[in-house]
């Protein structure tokens, strides 16, 4: 391969078929892997991961935007349509998670509270499964996978910046004497 690369010529663009790699069809420079572009499905996958990790729709509902959860469901529906249109191979359908989801469906009638199991657990598992299959389908480069692995740092950084005030009941009893009762409780009179 180095014979056709001379200092007077720019490096030749080779397809992967010419190099013999298994990632067929992607043009790459000799020795350099081409960067994966930010396509619409890839942006949607990353946006949904940010939504899953940071829950901005909950903040939006608290601010009065009551239709924010419906937007998230529409984004999941769009991702599902894109995954089905892309027709990934069976290996990308994440068979272990699919088996776990099937097990949850079988065990649903035996749950202590079938309403909660169906409405909360099963629906969340289905959305996580769709996001996992979308990630496996549309993330094709190590750089994008590395970026996805760094997203939980965004979650922990956001929660530490928000800062929640400590409730007065959790501050302890530093301002009362040992014999006085905690406010709001009744004591029996001793005879």
Question: What is this structure's pTM?
Answer: 0.60
CB of 105 within 8 A of CB of 122?
A: yes
In the prediction, which pLDDT does 47 show?
92
Buried b (16+ CB within 10 A) or exposed e, 99-120: eebeebeeeeeeeeeeeebeee
Distance CA(128)–CA(138), nearest Å, equals 15
Q: Share the mean pLDDT of the chain.
A: 74
In the prediction, which pLDDT does 44 show?
92
- Look at the alpha carbons of 106, 120, 67, 39 in this order and tell me if their dihedral is positive or negative: negative
Q: And the tokens for 4?
A: 């056709």
Query: pLDDT tens-digit profile of 67-108?
Result: 999 999 999 999 999 999 988 777 778 888 989 999 988 998
Query: pLDDT tens-digit profile of 14-47?
Result: 444 444 444 444 554 544 556 778 889 889 999 9
CB of 128 within 8 A of CB of 76?
A: no
> What percentage of residues in the chain have a pLDDT greater than 70?
63
Sequence spans of domains, the chain: 40-138
């Amino acid at each position: 391969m180095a014979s056709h690369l001379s200092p007077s010529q720019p490096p030749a663009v080779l397809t992967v078929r010419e190099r013999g790699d298994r990632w067929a069809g992607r043009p790459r420079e000799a020795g350099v892997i081409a960067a994966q572009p930010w396509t619409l499905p890839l942006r949607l996958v990353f946006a949904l991961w940010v939504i899953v990790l940071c829950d901005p729709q909950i903040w939006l509902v608290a601010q009065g935007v009551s239709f924010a959860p419906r937007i998230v469901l529409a984004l999941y529906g769009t991702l599902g349509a894109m995954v089905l249109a892309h027709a990934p191979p069976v290996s990308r359908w994440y068979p272990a998670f699919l088996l776990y989801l099937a097990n949850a469906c079988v065990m649903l009638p035996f749950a202590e509270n079938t309403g909660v199991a169906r409405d909360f657990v099963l629906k969340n598992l289905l959305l996580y499964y769709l996001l996992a299959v979308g990630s496996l389908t549309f993330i094709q480069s190590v750089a994008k996978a590395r970026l996805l692995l760094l997203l939980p740092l965004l979650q922990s950084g956001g929660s530490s910046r928000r800062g929640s005030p400590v409730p007065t009941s959790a501050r302890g009893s530093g301002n009362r004497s040992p014999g006085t009762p905690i406010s709001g409780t009744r004591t029996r009179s001793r005879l």
